[in-house]
Structure 1
Amino acid sequence: MRNYLHFLANCQSMEELWKAHTAKMAEFGFDRLIYGFTRYRTSTSLGDPEDFIILSNHPKEYLDAFIGGGQYFHAPMVRWALANEGAMGWGMLGQMVETATLTPAERKVYDFNIRMNVTAGYTISFKSISARSKGAIALTARQGMTQAEVDAVWQEHGRDIHLMNNIAHLKILTLPYNAPNRGLTPRQREALQWVGDGKTMQDIATIMGLTPATVEKHLRLAREALSVETTAQAVLKAAFSNQMFVLEA
Structure 2
Amino acid sequence: MTPGERTYLIKLTNADTIECLWRNHCRRMADYGFDRLLYGFTRFRTSTSLGDPNDFILLSNHDPTYVYGFMDEGLYHHGPMVHWALNNEGSCSWSVLARMVSEGTLTPDEQRVLEFNIQHGVTAGYTVSFKSVSSRAKGAISLAARRGMSQDEADAVWAEHGEAIVLMNNLVHLKILTLPYMPANRSLTKRQREALQWVGDGKTTQDIAQIMGLTPATVEKHLRLAREALNVDTTAQAVLKAAFQNQMFIVEG
TM-score, length of structure 1 as denominator length: 0.98
**1:246 corresponds to:** 250
Alpha-carbon deviations, 1:42-80, whole Å to 9, x = none?
111111111101111000110110111111111000000
The alpha carbon displacement at 1:217 in A equals 1.1
- Find 2:194's aligned residue among 168, 187, 190: 190
Instruction: Report matched runs for 1:138-157 at 5 Å.
Output: 138-157=142-161
2:122 maps to what in 1? 118
| Residue 173 (structure 1) aligned to one of 172, 177, 191 | 177
Secondary structure, counterpart of 2:36 in structure 1: strand
| CA–CA separation in structure 2 for the residues paired with 1:134 and 1:248 | 29
Rounded to whole Å, the distance in 2 between the matches of 1:141 and 1:228 is 38
Q: Partners of 1:129 and 1:165 in 2: how far apart?
A: 17
Give the number of equivalent residue pairs: 249
Partner of 1:96: 100
Separation in 1, partners of 2:230, 2:178: 19
Q: 1:88 is paired with a residue of what secondary structure?
A: strand
> How high is the sequence identity, in percent, across the aligned residues?
67
Aligned counterpart for 2:26 among listed residues 14, 17, 22: 22
CA shift at 1:229, angstroms?
1.2
CA contact (8 A) 1:34 1:57 kept: yes
1:82 Cα offset (Å): 0.2
Tell me the distance in 1 between the aligned counterparts of 2:48 and 2:228.
Answer: 25
CA distance in 2, matches of 1:140, 1:132: 26
Name the SS of the counterpart of 1:31 in structure 2. Answer: strand
Of 150, 159, 166, 1:162 maps to: 166
**One-letter amino acid matched to 1:193:** Q
SS at match of 1:54: strand
Distance 1:147 1:2 in 2: 27
2:99 matches 1:78: no
Paired amino acid for 1:80: W
- TM-score w.r.t. structure 2 length? 0.97
What SS does the corresponding residue of 2:50 show, helix, strand or coil? coil
C-alpha displacement of 1:181? 3.4
- CA shift, 1:112, in A, is 0.5
Counterpart of 2:133 (choices 129, 134, 148) is 129
Runs (4+) of structure 1 exceeding 4 A deviation are none
CA distance in 2, matches of 1:56, 1:248: 26
Match of 1:39 among 43, 66, 69: 43
Q: Residues 81-104 of structure 1, C-alpha deviation per residue, up to 9 Å, x if partnerless?
A: 000000000000011011111111
Amino acid corresponding to residue 179 of structure 2 in structure 1: L
Distance 1:221 1:7 in 2: 36
* Inter-partner Cα distance in structure 1 for 2:186 and 2:84: 29
Report what 1:237 is aligned to. Answer: 241
1:218 is matched with which residue?
Answer: 222
* Displacement after TM superposition at 1:129 (Å): 2.9
Q: Which amino acid is 1:232 matched to?
A: A
> Which stretches in structure 1 are left out of the alignment for 5+ residues?
none
Provide the rounded CA distance (Å) in 2 between the counterparts of 1:11 and 1:110: 35
2-side partners of 1:248 and 1:232: how far apart?
24
Distance 1:47 1:188 in 2: 25
Q: Tell me the C-alpha RMSD between the 2 structures.
A: 1.0
Residue matched to 1:8? 12
Residue 108, structure 1, aligned to residue 112, structure 2? yes
Q: Structure 2 stretches of 5 or more lacking a match?
A: none
